[in-house]
């Protein structure tokens, strides 16, 4: 699949089943995604791969933040079983570096966007999920986040439950989002 086709046909996939990429394949795709623009080559991110029983443990941790109803706790716990792989994105900014934190966050987002395109090109579906659990001290503790790190969410990854045809999106007219700078001529 060429890059333009991948960009125009990628969609967030909500219902994901096996197979998902294994650890080796994920690492291979990540090594390519890591070539995204990253001033200073800081790689201010890391991934925690959550599969199998790890999804159950994470779901129980999520459920601990739910209202008292058993049904609500069960629904919350089940969220982690919506995909066979939950790739947890952790932002690890390099403090005090000449590359400002906002730029490190931009590099992390660029890498993640590339990874999602690579997954799509390989036939996998994904969706980037965030929400209140990214701020949970219990979730941070369970996943072993260190001081100064931020949980940016999870890429839920697998194979789309129902294969969707690669319908290309029609690019929007974004000409109103572009201006061309033309300085005033200098006076002599």
pLDDT digits (tens, 9 = 90+) for 82-117: 999 999 999 999 999 999 999 999 999 999 999 999
Let me know if residue 147 belongs to a domain: yes
Structural contact between residues 127 and 79, judged by C-beta atoms closer than 8 angstroms? no
The arithmetic mean of pLDDT across residues 22-38, rounded, is 98
Local confidence band at 167 (pLDDT 50, 70, 90 cut-offs)? confident
Structural contact between residues 20 and 158, judged by C-beta atoms closer than 8 angstroms? yes
Local confidence band at 70 (pLDDT 50, 70, 90 cut-offs)? confident
The arithmetic mean of pLDDT across residues 145-167, rounded, is 91
Q: Is 67 a residue whose pLDDT tops 80?
A: no
Let me know if residue 67 belongs to a domain: yes
Local confidence band at 65 (pLDDT 50, 70, 90 cut-offs)? confident
Let me know if residue 186 belongs to a domain: no
Q: Is the dihedral of CA 37, 40, 32, 146 positive or negative?
A: negative
Mean pLDDT of the chain: 94
Let me know if residue 114 belongs to a domain: yes
The arithmetic mean of pLDDT across residues 151-158, rounded, is 98
Cβ neighbors of 143 (< 8 A, separation 6 or more) are: 48, 58, 88, 90, 151
CATH code assigned at 98 = 3.40.109.10
Q: What angle separates helix 70-78 from helix 52-63, to the nearest 10 degrees?
A: 140
**What pTM, to 2 d.p., does this model score?**
0.91
Query: Pick from 56, 69, 6, 53: which is nearest to 33 by CA?
Result: 6
The arithmetic mean of pLDDT across residues 158-185, rounded, is 88
Query: Pick from 20, 5, 4: which is nearest to 159 by CA?
Result: 20
Give the chain's domain count: 1
Let me know if residue 185 belongs to a domain: no
Let me know if residue 46 belongs to a domain: yes
Domain range enclosing 26: 3-177
Taking the chain, what is the end-to-end CA distance rounded to the nearest angstrom?
55
Let me know if residue 74 belongs to a domain: yes
User: Which pLDDT score, from 0 to 100, does residue 124 have?
Assistant: 97
Let me know if residue 165 belongs to a domain: yes
């Amino acid at each position: 699949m060429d890059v333009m086709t991948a960009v125009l046909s990628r969609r967030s996939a909500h219902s994901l089943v096996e197979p998902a990429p294994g650890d080796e394949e994920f690492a291979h795709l990540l090594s390519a995604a890591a070539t995204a623009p990253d001033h200073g080559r800081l790689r201010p991110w890391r991934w925690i791969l959550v599969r199998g029983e790890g999804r159950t443990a994470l779901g129980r941790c999520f459920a601990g933040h739910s209202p008292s109803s058993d049904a609500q706790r069960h629904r919350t716990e089940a969220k982690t079983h919506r995909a066979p792989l939950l790739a947890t994105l952790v932002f690890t900014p390099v403090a005090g570096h000449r590359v400002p934190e906002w730029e490190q966050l931009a590099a992390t987002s660029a890498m993640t966007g590339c990874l999602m395109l690579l997954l799509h090109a390989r036939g996998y579906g994904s969706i980037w999920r965030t929400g209140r659990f990214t701020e949970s001290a219990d979730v941070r503790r369970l996943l072993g986040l260190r001081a100064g790190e931020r949980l940016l969410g999870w890429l839920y990854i697998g194979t789309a439950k129902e294969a969707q045809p690669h319908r290309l999106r029609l690019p929007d007219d974004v000409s109103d989002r572009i201006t061309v700078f033309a300085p005033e001529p200098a006076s002599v």
